Amino acid sequence: MTSPLVLASASPFRKTLLENAGLTFDVEPAQIDERAVEAALGDLNPEDVATILAEAKAQDVSERNPGAIVIGSDQTLSLDGAIYHKPADMDEARRRLLALSGKTHDLNSAIVLAKDGETIWRHMSVARMTMRDLDPGFIGRHLSNVGDEALSSVGAYQFEGEGIQLFERIDGDYFAIIGLPMLPLLAQLRDLGAIDG
């Protein structure tokens, strides 16, 4: 009998990616304070921050789901050494897009699998995102059009929606940009015998 799968995330985008891949799984968001975990880390690089947060989520949910393979994930956005999180409001989203305009930033997407409270696999994918030069008026019209969806992304954009219009170039995996690098995840789940393959 294969182990049940649990997604330790409230993200509708991650849930949809797993559903579209035909996986059967439960959803149980982790009960951790991400900013408190991050504050305790000190000065780490953005990839390590994403991995540690993904691991904390996976282990938290794993402890309440014996025998299950729990998928934890986290994504950080880094630009010029700074780490960015989801904007709190539309004014912060506007400032975020102005800061990213004409620059290349990294989206660091971590996945961690845990079982019975122990980490059994880690993976990191980095996508380099080059935003075109954006006119402040366009940013305002864009945010007005997409509304609060802008607040659900670390970059204040929904790349899988109208946010695609903000970009000049990307280097990296589409699924990593959305927040769950699917191909390495599926390969590992097959290796573990958790899914057919």
pLDDT, mean of each 10-residue run, the chain (197 residues)? 87 93 96 83 87 96 96 94 90 96 96 96 97 96 93 88 94 92 97 91
pTM score above 0.75: yes
Distance CA 187, CA 143 (A): 37
Q: Which residues are catalytic?
A: 74
pLDDT of the residue at 160: 86
Write out the H or E segment, with its range, that includes residue 41: helix 34-41
155: its two tokens = 């970059």
- Determine how many CB atoms are found less than 10 A away from the CB of residue 129: 23
The per-residue pLDDT for 40 is 81
Q: What pLDDT is stored for residue 1 in this prediction?
A: 52
Look at residue 54 in the predicted model and tell me its pLDDT: 96
Task: Provide, for the chain, the percentages of residues in helix, strand and coil under a 3-state DSSP scheme, each rounded to the nearest 5.
Answer: 40, 25, 35
